[in-house]
Amino acid sequence: MIDKTYATAAEAVADIPDGASLAVGGFGLSGNPIALIEALLAQGTQDLSIVSNNCGVDDWGLGVLLNAKRIRKMTSSYVGENKEFERQFLSGELELELTPQGTLAEKLRAGGAGIAAFFTQTGVGTQVAEGGLPRKYDGQGGIAVASPQKDVRTFAPDGTAREYVLEEAIVTDYALVHAAKGDVHGNLVFHKSARNFNPLAAMAGTVCIAQVEELVPAGGIDPDDVHLPGIYVHRIVEVGPDIEKRIERRTVSADPSTSTGTDATPRDIPEGA
């Protein structure tokens, strides 16, 4: 089998051209492929169309590409936590295809599984199905691009007739993902919530590039422990266990050892996921 390892993140993303479409893993800031994102930022790639659950925060994750105005369009299910995202969208600088979270996950999975489209109840009776959701503003408060009407049909899989909306699968030019462990053939293991969108993004990318905290030889991962088989992964680069990780909001708790009556000293919970 082929050794898929690359020496650096910069080498792994070097051929991603302007105008490319990317599926990017991560859930909130958990499991963001930050080394690959920063390498893409450093090489100057622009006019990107990105599919990801969200767009990071103002100074981290996909937010660094957004701040540099490298992103033309986002397909996401959550767009909070990022003031620059709001500004660019409302000013007409950024196109947004807002998609229900479960539908977005299935669109990515379907793309990787070779399924062209599927029917779902999610969005029936709303603008998701009926069209008219703003995708891009004209900078004057008007809508320049609106979502189209989708095909709605009636099915009765359980004997009760219900309406379902047709959703098309997503396949992108590239995928950028983060995993806790990988082997030289691209088999990946994810850690906790980083498993939410990273495997799905990996499946949807025509060329998948994975950054891993730990790279092991072939056979270094028990087959029963593999979360994503190497058939979906084309390039892999080790970034080490000390790579920076962040969360959107730090959670604190009272330290019992310093508590006096009703007073307590907040204690930081380490970041990372």
Report all structural domains of the chain as residue ranges with CATH numbers, in order of start: 9-116+169-238 (3.40.1080.10)
- Return the pLDDT at 80: 81
pTM of this prediction?
Answer: 0.90
How many CA atoms does the CB half-sphere of 164 hold within 13 Å? Answer: 14
- Return the pLDDT at 247: 77
Mean pLDDT computed over 245-268: 64
Q: Tens digit of pLDDT for each residue in 174-216?
A: 999 999 999 999 999 999 999 999 999 999 999 999 999 999 9
Distance in angstroms (rounded) separating the CA atoms of residues 226 and 154: 38
**Of residues 82, 71, 75, the one with CA closest to residue 45:** 71
Q: Tens digit of pLDDT for each residue in 108-140?
A: 999 999 999 999 999 999 999 999 999 999 999
Q: How confident is the model at residue 272 (pLDDT cuts 50, 70, 90)?
A: very low
- Return the pLDDT at 264: 46
- Return the pLDDT at 273: 47
**Of residues 178, 184, 152, 149, the one with CA closest to residue 39:** 178
Q: Is the pLDDT of residue 72 over 50?
A: yes
Structure tokens at 76: 């996401």
Mean pLDDT computed over 207-236: 97
The burial of 171, by beta-carbon neighbours within 10 Å (0-12 exposed, 13-18 middle, 19 or more buried), is given as: buried
Q: Which residues contact 251 (CB under 8 A, 6 or more apart)?
A: 269
- Return the pLDDT at 258: 63
